[in-house]
Each structure stands twice: as C-alpha cells, then as structure tokens.
Amino acid sequence: MRVSGLFRLVALIFALVTTWVFIRSYNGFNMKTIRLPRWMGSVPRETRVEKTKCGLSKPCPENFFSFKLSSGAANVVGPSMCFENHLIMSPVKNNVGRGLNIALVNGSTGTVQRESSFDMYSGEPTALVKFLKEIQEGVLVLVASYDDPGTKMNDEIRNLFSNLGSSYAKQLGFRDSWVFLGAKDLKSKSPFEQFLKNDPNTNKYEGWPELLELEGCVPRKVF
C-alpha cells in the first residue's frame, strides 16, 4: 500500500512538471492568449469615440476655433450658439431673446466677452447701434436671429453689420432667418453667413422661414 501511495505521488509530480514544461515551451499558449476577456473587467483600449467640439461633423485643425450657430425656429424655439464647446446662448440657458442675439468673443483667446439680445420688433435700435460701435479690433461677433430681426432695422445698423463682413444685413427684413459670424477687422466678406428670406411661398413654418444652422472653424487670431 505504501509503495503504491508513493508511486501515485511520484506520478502526480511528474504529470504536473511535464504539464508546466509543456505550457512554458508552447509558444502559442502565452499570457496574451489567456488574458481575461474585456467584459470581465479589463479596460478597453481605443474604443472611445472622439467627440468634436460643439458636435461639429468633423474636428477643426490646430489654431482654429469650433463654432455652431442656429437661428430660432419661428417664434417658438430660441436660437443657440456654441463656441469651443462652450454653449454661450441657448433656450436652456434662458439667455436668448426675440430679435438679434449677439455674442462677442476674444479672437485670440476664444473667451466670451459679452452676450446680449436685442428686441428688433419693439425695442430701441439705439442700444444695438451703441453695442456694435463699441466692438474692438480682434473681436469675433456671433449673431443668431429669433422670430423677427428686421422691423427696427435701420441703415446705420445695416452698415455696422456690413463692416463686420456681412453680405445679407443690407436686405434683412421682417421675420427673416439669419446666422452670421464676423469680425471688426475683416478685409473681405465673412464666409460664415446664412440667410433665408421670409417668403409665404417657401416658408417652412406658417409665417416664418426654416431655422438656419451654421458650423465651421474660424482661425485663431495671433497678434
């Protein structure tokens, strides 16, 4: 009995040693192939989808700011403005108003300086004139319309917007949709502008054209 017990022990040790040697020497059976599956707790690598700033369809290059503007929908949903992933104005932030919504951003740092809305139906246009005249060099101007940007529009305001690079401020009228990004020191017309005329034949909503969305990459100004 004792001899057979000893024999079993030796056989067991032999089996263990040969198994160990087999595993060590067998290349395909290394640690990599027997590591835990992902769902058992190991951290997944590179499965995180890169989200763009402001939800842009593609990311902006180095030294460009990401922005997205949308005008209001009829007189129901307010406009919104996103700049470098920062929601400057939106109905959720409750800082938009009917008329023209305007934000000023430092063109080299990308920091928001001011945001304001101007009632263009029953408000005083002098407030907007003052606001636009005070804009300094190197400041980006973001504009989104809501409901009616046109009733109190006058030639002085049209000229001030044209000087910021707008092509459509000249014809902006009652209940038109307008989104625009410009700057004081633009040498030419801004490429960042969308405009839809209030036209009963083409209006999406009863009494208002469709809302407009504008996204893009604006170069950081290096002084």
Interface positions with ligand NAG (CB under 6 A): 106, 108-109, 136, 138-139
Nearer to ligand NAG, 42 or 108 (CB): 108
Q: How many Cα neighbours within 13 Å face the side chain of 32?
A: 3
| Residue closer to ligand NAG (CB basis): 18 or 109 | 109
Q: Closest CB to ligand NAG among 74 and 181?
A: 181
Nearer to ligand NAG, 38 or 114 (CB): 114
> In terms of C-beta density within 10 A (0-12 exposed, 13-18 middle, 19 or more buried), how is residue 121 classed?
middle
Is residue 210 within 8 Å of 198, Cβ to Cβ? no
- Calculate the CA dihedral of residues 21, 22, 28, 34 and round it to 10 degrees: -80
Rounded to the nearest whole angstrom, what is the least distance from the CB of residue 111 to ligand NAG in the complex?
7
Q: Give the nearest residue (CB) to ligand NAG.
A: 106
d(CA 77, CA 3): 91
From the CB of 72, what's the least distance to ligand NAG, in Å? 28
Please report how close the Cβ of residue 140 comes to ligand NAG at its closest, in angstroms.
Answer: 10
Nearer to ligand NAG, 109 or 122 (CB): 109
Q: Please, what is the minimum distance in Å from the beta carbon of residue 65 to ligand NAG?
A: 13
What is the spatial distance between Cα 53 and Cα 65, in angstroms, rounded to a whole number? 9
Phi/psi at 100 (5° precision):
-115, 130
Give min distance, CB of 113 to ligand NAG, in A. 6
Which tokens go with 55?
């939800």
